Amino acid sequence: MSKIDSIQKYAPLYLKGKSENFIRAFEGKTVDKQYSAVMTWRSRQKRKQQSVQTVTLTPEAIVSSIKGVGDMINSLPEKLKENQISEIESAVKSLMDFLTGYKDVVRREEIVRLERQREEISQRLKELKSGIEPSLFD
């Protein structure tokens, strides 16, 4: 694939969400500089994807990722626009709604498990008591 083909293929993704000034500056660069910028960006994207795939999913990893969002936002080359902030807020709200539902499911499952244990314990107590003289428990 030629440099121009690569630029045509990856530049739209590279420029997505960038300001008009950034796009004009990019388009004003030589083919070599455009190619270098796009391929550097593509390489970083691949590395990010690979590192996310190699992370073992644990509750701690999830918490760490969520805490890292603030750092990611602060590291953006440009300030977020109102609509972008709204999109992030919407995603956070969706996550909170999911967690609320998830917590309810976990609680219900624990209640079922504990009630099942209580029934087993109650049954076992009856079995044990039936083998002992009743006068001891009256």
Q: At what angle do helices 3-15 and 31-54 cross, to 10 degrees?
A: 60
pTM for the whole structure:
0.48
22 and 15 Cβ atoms separated by less than 8 Å? yes
Percentage of the chain exceeding pLDDT 70: 92
Confidence of residue 118 (pLDDT cuts 50, 70, 90): very high
> Rounded to whole angstroms, how far apart are CA atoms 6 and 17?
19
If one compares 80 and 134, the residue with the highest pLDDT of the two is 80
Predicted pLDDT at 94: 94
Q: What percent of the chain has pLDDT over 90?
A: 55
